[in-house]
Amino acid sequence: MKSYRRLTRTLTALMCGLFLWTAAHPGSTSQDQDTADATGPVFVVTIEGMIDNALAKYIDRAVADAESAEAATIIFHIDTFGGLVEAADAIRKAILDTTIPTVAFIDHNAASAGALISYAADSIYMAPGSSMGAATVVEGVGGEAAPDKYQSYFKGIMRATAEANGRDPLIAEAMVDQDLVVEGVSEAGQVLTLSTSEAVALGVADAEMADLDAVVAHLGFGDSERVVHKTTTLERILRFFGSPVVQGILMLMMMGGLYFELQTPGVGFPGIMAAIGAALFFGPHYMLGLVESWELVLFVVGVILLLVEIFVIPGFGIAGISGLVLVVGSLGVSLIGNVGFSFPSGDTVTEAIWTLAITLMLGVFLGFSLSKYLPRSSRFHQLVLEPELSSAFGYTASETRDALLGNTGRALTHLRPAGSAEFGGERIDVITSGEFIEAGTSVRVVNVQGSRVMVRPTTRLTDRDETSP
């Protein structure tokens, strides 16, 4: 009996010791242990700058590369203020769908769409002084809050993502909904943003880590191979030209170039600028899979119809109007995330229409302003000839010889009928009315037209010649 009691006390002491050791090492969770047991390389994928469609495509490639390499874990190094909702949702799905353990290391900022991406990871670690939250959906360059239906949809995505990884969904919703009150966490009237210490205390983040090396060491991969996944040069170029700001500028180039090209005959600088804008607008979208082939066909057909209207058919009729409709329509459709001929909800279509309408209005305003004020610019006058170069404005084609009218000189050469004569010691090119005059003959200037000096022999002058103006 005593042996049985002694054995019971020993087992109880061991269990208590194991419990105390586990409580003293909160970072050593079962998930971390499973991650540490993996033998593949550690993939580090950087998410920084604006969240856009090009970045979403890159994350898809990075996750696929990590799966092919049988990576032990993927660490997403995050520093972003947010971006496009659809791009963030695509990244979220890629992170949730992978079977590789994922880690989000927030290095300073994970705002808006960045918070959604962080929530999709299995583990979240934050650097000192970092923040996470403020995920209210905004629209336009002014940053105004989007309508309630957009807020509700994004709030649902945040809630579902938090629940998928065992985090408090109310805290995730409070980052979107400023009216949601979470007792002891957020108050009404402001969206929730958490600092590093607050996120750790609330269980949103697993721990505070000094840097990426500390995260790798904490996960037990200090001696493992580390693969820092990089974007290609092409992806960086596509991301630059695929950003909403650059896309708006390129659209203005196209519309402005077409407008000025229709105002002038032939193909000139405006037409070249429109073609460059079109190539840079559709190229990145097509390579990212955001533009369908039939949309490009519509645009090309529209441009061809406009060229036919300019060079073949006089005036501006059916071909010109049809071409303009096709060009504008293809630009509008390219802003919609459709698959083939399947289009999303009416809200997305409405947003694309408004974006195109605003761009067109800006293009018309820019074209009107340039056509009105550019001709008055001194820089413009250095590039374009004046419409009139008359003597009234101080322009002369060549040096005039009006002062020679009536002067008498001597022919230096035979005038047959052109030659040279001397007047006051100056050699002047002269011409006769068609008669031959020998060298040395005394001549008088009877007419001057610009640089053309007409002479006659002094022995053959009539009274009219003496008084010829």
What confidence category does residue 96 fall into, taking pLDDT thresholds of 50, 70 and 90?
A: very high
What confidence category does residue 371 fall into, taking pLDDT thresholds of 50, 70 and 90?
A: low
- What is the average pLDDT across 262-269? 61
> Do 402-466 and 25-231 fall under one CATH topology?
no
Structure confidence at residue 435 (pLDDT) = 85
Does residue 333 register a pLDDT over 80? no
192 by DSSP, 3-state: which?
A: coil
Domain 25-231: CATH class, spelled out: alpha beta
Whether residue 408 contacts residue 444, with contact meaning beta carbons closer than 8 Å, is answered with yes
d(CA 293, CA 132): 40
Does residue 385 register a pLDDT over 60? no
- What are 116-132's pLDDT values in tens digits? 999 999 999 999 999 99
- The helix (run of H) or strand (run of E) holding residue 78 is strand 73-80
Q: What is the DSSP letter of 405?
A: T
Q: How many CB atoms lie within 10 A of CB 326?
A: 20
- What is the average pLDDT across 17-35? 43
Superfamily of domain 402-466: Nucleic acid-binding proteins (2.40.50.140)
d(CA 46, CA 43): 10
123 by DSSP, 3-state: which?
A: strand
User: What is the average pLDDT value for the chain, to the nearest integer?
Assistant: 77
Does residue 182 register a pLDDT over 90? no
- What is the average pLDDT across 136-153? 68
Q: Which residue has the tokens 């009216």?
A: 179
Question: How far is residue 158 CA from its own chain's centroid?
Answer: 28
Per the document, the length of the chain is 469
Q: What is the DSSP letter of 396?
A: -
Structure confidence at residue 466 (pLDDT) = 44
So where are the chain's domains? 25-231, 236-376, 402-466
Does residue 407 register a pLDDT over 70? yes
pTM of the model: 0.59
Q: Name the least confident of 199-203, 212-216, 462-466.
A: 462-466
Whether residue 218 contacts residue 42, with contact meaning beta carbons closer than 8 Å, is answered with no
Residue type, 221: F
% of the chain beyond a pLDDT of 70: 68
Structure confidence at residue 94 (pLDDT) = 94
What confidence category does residue 180 fall into, taking pLDDT thresholds of 50, 70 and 90?
A: confident
What confidence category does residue 99 fall into, taking pLDDT thresholds of 50, 70 and 90?
A: very high
